Structure 1
Amino acid sequence: MPKTLPPQAVRPAAPGRLWRCAALAGSLMAGSPAALAQLTVLQVAPLTGVDGGLGYHVRLGAQIAFDEANAQDPVPGGPVSLLTLDEQRGQVVQQVRQALARQPVALFGLVGRHSVQELAQGTPGGWLTQWQLPLVGVFSGSVQALAPLPAGVVLTRGSYADEVESVFRHLGTIASRRVALVTTDDADGEEVSALVRQQAQAEKVGLLGVHTHPTGSAEVMAAAQTLAGQGVDAVILASNTAAVANFAKLYTQAGGRAQLIALSSAEATQLAAVVGPQAARGVLISQLVPNPRDPKRLLSREFLAAYKRWGPADLSPTLAMTESYIAARLLLDSLRRSGPRPTAAGVWRTLAGLPPQVQVADLPVAVNRRAPGYRSLSMIGRDGALVY
């Protein structure tokens, strides 16, 4: 049973590896003039394991935004360099503390609630407040883990509550009255389970069961076999990409016919790469960012143009890359508004003053969930590609 995505889908790094912009790699030696003349953005994210694909795509989306800015519209005090550390669970505070010697102007693109929880401990207001190190972009829909937010922390992602509401709104349009949930046996799973129970009760939809699997794994065979025989109308999947893909395959093989709907914690564009187009076909995906290939949207056109210049030719753009690109664009705008020589403390103040909603190209972006954010559903088609 697969527990990680295939190499062609995720490009995992070796454990502990540092990822840098290739053009700047030679200038990162501590104390060098080039190192002092650049703006370092720090990322601590998983580059290996089940979440390694997501961490890699988050890194790539931000790197494309920074490369484009460095080439086309430089930030005062730049260029901007992305330094990514392979996250070591339980050691995030130590990893960030050690990286402070590089004088990062911001922390970017954390994956999951655990990193934020680690950084929120140990001192009043958390370590980020003590260090005055701003943070932009947390790839988690949790509300419980991310509240209260320090002033210099900006979220651009919608909440689990937003996604669950969208899912149940769709279930109402297809007359689904019997649903089940598959999620992880951790705090995220508990939070999603509570939201699904509340929404099911409000919509008078029968919740026939909540099935959990070990966090950080794709061990969903028991849930797939059980639900295939229950006759549910829909199964909501709140887990990682590998688990969602594996469930779709095993559930179909066991004779299951319910509509499968995955939250955005799974990378929709990678499901078919994991289990093949036939197994992934028909799965609905909740998404919190627009179609990266939408020619009618300015943001998508700008992202694709930058991707063609700076992205890998053998990997297609994903929703995770798009989400990271949007968050990185917000950070770049904040750097430009933080004076001729941006510092972490100055960026902290700039982020603290952001309104509830900002504009990135033609996309209104909700800041810290204080305004409505982008929400939609897409489906995986016959060839494994998303139908938006």
Structure 2
Amino acid sequence: MKLKVMAAHAALIMAAACGANGAQAAQVVVGQVGPMSGLEASQGRAYATGMQLYFNAVNKAGGINGNTFALVRRDDSGRPEDTLALTRTMLAEDKPLVLAGYFGSRNLAEVAPVLEKEKIALVGYRTAEIRPEAPYVYNVRATLRDEVDKLAQHLATIGITRIGLVYENGPGAPALLAAADEAAKKAHSTITLKVGYEAGTARVAPAVEQLLKNPPQAILLVTSGAAAAAFIEQYRSSGGAAQLFAHSGADIEQLSKRLSEEQMQGVAIAQVTPSPYKISGKLAKEFIDTASKTPNLEVPVSYAMMEGYIAAHVIVEAVRRQGAKPSREGVVAALDSIDNYDLGGYVVGFKGNQHSGSRFVELSIITGAGKIRQ
């Protein structure tokens, strides 16, 4: 009998040990369906790389509450129908706890019903439209409205009153146009010409032609990165002389691959994260140190990579707040509880139905040497 008791006791100890090891080995799967190829591939892959950088650092430090993080990616090439199909496949096969790093307004619209059905949060996305707040969809950056306001205010300070606008002609275009008119009015300026281009493309030649015929003092580009690069190249090559201002979708890394330094000179871009190139605070230092110590980065350091790094920070914090057994519903509740989360010079908070977590916007200007000046 004594031997049986000892054996049972030993079995319990082994079971407890196995349970502890299982808890340590528990894995939080984060799913990204985004453009790993196609027009926005550089930004989609950079966003993923930023998330992976932070997840790797957390895993190396032992994880959170016994949980480690794994990023699973699928390539939709920017096509909304593929975003939906691949998201469904990922949910069935990979069982992610949370989704992150999606691109495109139509893409988000396609997956929104799935998010509600599966009760799974999507943290971090990029669009070129103003979209309404929606359940289960959280962003870690300022809104497009905030960016347009910042650009209009800056134009007012340098005496520009006649503005052209190039925008993606999708479902969210009316809201964007209304916001642009409102921002211009507050800045005592006028949008003299608004030209849309087909969503999901970089076919901007008609916009270039119209703005050459009716030249404003400055042009706002609320476009994808690929469309911004195409517009600047064609507009400058055709002799267009208006000052160019772009929202954050036009990252300098994508522009520099296609444009000459002369074409990029003087372009101003709204940025919604701290610079990934200079130490301006704790977050920037942490990112720069982590990236510099990581060999063979998939893509060069960029603002999109910094944004992915921030999204991963927020996801990890949402998991941390749940303890050892996080759930999809728990992630949503934890995100809703994040009010004033300071990452070190960059604050994220979600209040009520406000799911855009930041108001941070600053301008960067590209110099004649192709460098960024804040």
Matched, 1:332 2:321: no
Of the three residues 353, 370, 374, the one matched with 1:384 is 370
**Post-superposition shift, 1:72?**
2.6
Q: Is the 8 A contact 1:293 1:301 kept in 2?
A: no
Q: Is the 8 A contact 1:140 1:157 kept in 2?
A: no
**Post-superposition shift, 1:175?**
0.3
- In structure 2, the partner of 1:63 is 52
Amino acid at match of 2:348: V
**Post-superposition shift, 1:372?**
5.6
Q: Report the 3-state secondary structure (helix = DSSP H, G, I; strand = E; otherwise coil) of the residue aligned with 1:90.
A: helix
Provide closer, same or farther for how the CA distance between residues 370 and 274 of structure 1 changes in structure 2, counting only shifts above 3 A. closer
- In structure 1, the partner of 2:345 is 362
Amino acid at match of 1:161: R
- In structure 1, the partner of 2:102 is 110
**Post-superposition shift, 1:281?**
1.3
In 1: Cα distance, 2:132 partner to 2:187 partner: 27
Q: Report the 3-state secondary structure (helix = DSSP H, G, I; strand = E; otherwise coil) of the residue aligned with 1:341.
A: coil
Provide closer, same or farther for how the CA distance between residues 73 and 383 of structure 1 changes in structure 2, counting only shifts above 3 A. farther
In 1: Cα distance, 2:222 partner to 2:314 partner: 27
Provide closer, same or farther for how the CA distance between residues 146 and 66 of structure 1 changes in structure 2, counting only shifts above 3 A. farther
Superposition map of 1:275-286 within 5 A: 275-286=259-270
Q: Report the 3-state secondary structure (helix = DSSP H, G, I; strand = E; otherwise coil) of the residue aligned with 2:58.
A: helix
Provide closer, same or farther for how the CA distance between residues 141 and 93 of structure 1 changes in structure 2, counting only shifts above 3 A. same
Provide closer, same or farther for how the CA distance between residues 201 and 363 of structure 1 changes in structure 2, counting only shifts above 3 A. closer
- In structure 2, the partner of 1:344 is 328
Amino acid at match of 1:55: G
**Post-superposition shift, 1:258?**
1.2
**Post-superposition shift, 1:120?**
2.5
**Post-superposition shift, 1:85?**
0.9
Q: Is the 8 A contact 1:136 1:155 kept in 2?
A: yes
Q: Report the 3-state secondary structure (helix = DSSP H, G, I; strand = E; otherwise coil) of the residue aligned with 2:124.
A: strand
- In structure 2, the partner of 1:45 is 34
Matched-pair identity in %: 27
Q: Is the 8 A contact 2:282 2:343 kept in 1?
A: no
Structure 1 unmatched runs, 5+: 1-32, 122-126
Q: Report the 3-state secondary structure (helix = DSSP H, G, I; strand = E; otherwise coil) of the residue aligned with 2:293.
A: helix
Matched, 1:270 2:270: no
In 2: Cα distance, 1:222 partner to 1:129 partner: 39
In 2: Cα distance, 1:227 partner to 1:70 partner: 51
Q: Report the 3-state secondary structure (helix = DSSP H, G, I; strand = E; otherwise coil) of the residue aligned with 1:306.
A: helix
In 2: Cα distance, 1:195 partner to 1:131 partner: 32
- In structure 1, the partner of 2:118 is 131
In 2: Cα distance, 1:311 partner to 1:136 partner: 27
Of the three residues 139, 146, 155, the one matched with 1:162 is 146
After superposition, the C-alpha distances for 1:170-228 in whole angstroms (9 at most, x for unaligned) are 01111001110111221243332222122223433232211122222222223223323
- In structure 1, the partner of 2:235 is 251
After superposition, the C-alpha distances for 1:343-374 in whole angstroms (9 at most, x for unaligned) are 2232222123222x321133212434577611
After superposition, the C-alpha distances for 1:295-349 in whole angstroms (9 at most, x for unaligned) are 2311111001111233635843111111111111111111112111322232222
Superposition map of 1:204-283 within 5 A: 204-283=188-267
In 2: Cα distance, 1:310 partner to 1:366 partner: 29
Q: Report the 3-state secondary structure (helix = DSSP H, G, I; strand = E; otherwise coil) of the residue aligned with 1:187.
A: coil
Superposition map of 1:167-206 within 5 A: 167-206=151-190
Amino acid at match of 2:138: V
**Post-superposition shift, 1:86?**
1.0
After superposition, the C-alpha distances for 1:210-264 in whole angstroms (9 at most, x for unaligned) are 1122222222223223323434110001111122122222222222211100011
- In structure 2, the partner of 1:317 is 301
In 2: Cα distance, 1:216 partner to 1:93 partner: 15
TM-score (norm 2): 0.85
Amino acid at match of 2:112: A
Q: Is the 8 A contact 2:165 2:219 kept in 1?
A: yes
Comparing 102-111 with 311-320, greater Cα deviation is found at: 311-320
> Computing the radius of gyration over CA atoms, which structure comes out larger, 1 or 2?
2
In 1: Cα distance, 2:262 partner to 2:356 partner: 40
TM-score (norm 1): 0.82
Q: Is the 8 A contact 1:365 1:374 kept in 2?
A: no
Of the three residues 91, 96, 112, the one matched with 1:120 is 112
In 2: Cα distance, 1:103 partner to 1:371 partner: 26
Q: Is the 8 A contact 1:51 1:216 kept in 2?
A: no
In 1: Cα distance, 2:295 partner to 2:315 partner: 19
In 1: Cα distance, 2:356 partner to 2:84 partner: 28
Question: RMSD of the alignment, in Å?
Answer: 2.4
Alignment size in residue pairs:
347
Q: Is the 8 A contact 1:281 1:382 kept in 2?
A: yes
Provide closer, same or farther for how the CA distance between residues 219 and 129 of structure 1 changes in structure 2, counting only shifts above 3 A. closer
Q: Is the 8 A contact 1:234 1:258 kept in 2?
A: yes
